[in-house]
Amino acid sequence: MINYLSIADAERFISSALQSAKVPASDADITASLMVQSDLVGADGHGIFRLPAYLKRIRAGGINLHPNIHIEREQGATALINGDNALGHLVMNKAVDLAIEKVKQHSVCWIGSHYGNHSGAASVYVRKLAEQGYIGIYMAVGNANHMAPWGGIDLLLSTNPIAIAVPSGDHPIVLLDIATTVAAYGKVKVAAQKGDSIPEGWMIDRQGNPITDPKKSSEGSLLPIGGYKGYGLAVMIGLLAGALNNAAVGKGTIDFNAHHDLITNTGQTIIAVDPSAFGDKDAFIQRVIDLVGDLKGSSTLPGVNEIRVPGEGAAKTMADRMKRGIPLSPELLETLNSCAQECGIPVLRF
| pTM for the whole structure | 0.94
User: Mean of the pLDDT values across residues 185-202?
Assistant: 90
CA atoms within a 13 Å half-sphere pointing along the CA-CB vector of 345: 17
User: Mean of the pLDDT values across residues 289-311?
Assistant: 97
Q: 250 Cβ partners below 8 Å, 6+ apart?
A: 145, 156, 157, 238, 242
φ, ψ for residue 217, nearest 5 deg: -60, -30
Position 184 confidence tier, pLDDT thresholds 50, 70, 90: confident
For 258-269, give the DSSP string: T-TTS---EEEE
Helix axes 7-20, 51-59, angle to 10 degrees: 10
Burial (CB < 10 A; 0-12, 13-18, 19+), residue 283, is exposed
Position 117 confidence tier, pLDDT thresholds 50, 70, 90: very high
- The mean of the pLDDT values for the chain is 96
Q: Which domains are present in the chain? A: 1-59+325-350 (1.10.1530.10), 67-181+224-310 (3.30.1370.60)
Nearest to 220 by CA among 207, 232, 236, 233: 207
- Dihedral (CA of 306, 310, 315, 321) sign: positive
List the end-to-end C-alpha distance of the chain, in Å, as a whole number. Answer: 11
**For residue 142, how many other CB atoms are within 10 A of its CB?**
31
User: Distance between CA atoms of 350 and 341, rounded to whole angstroms?
Assistant: 16
Cα-Cα-Cα-Cα dihedral of 289, 293, 295, 298, to 10°? Answer: -170
Cβ atoms of 169 and 309 within 8 Å: the answer is no
Burial (CB < 10 A; 0-12, 13-18, 19+), residue 77, is middle
pLDDT in tens, 305-337: 999 999 999 999 999 999 999 999 999 999 999
Position 257 confidence tier, pLDDT thresholds 50, 70, 90: confident
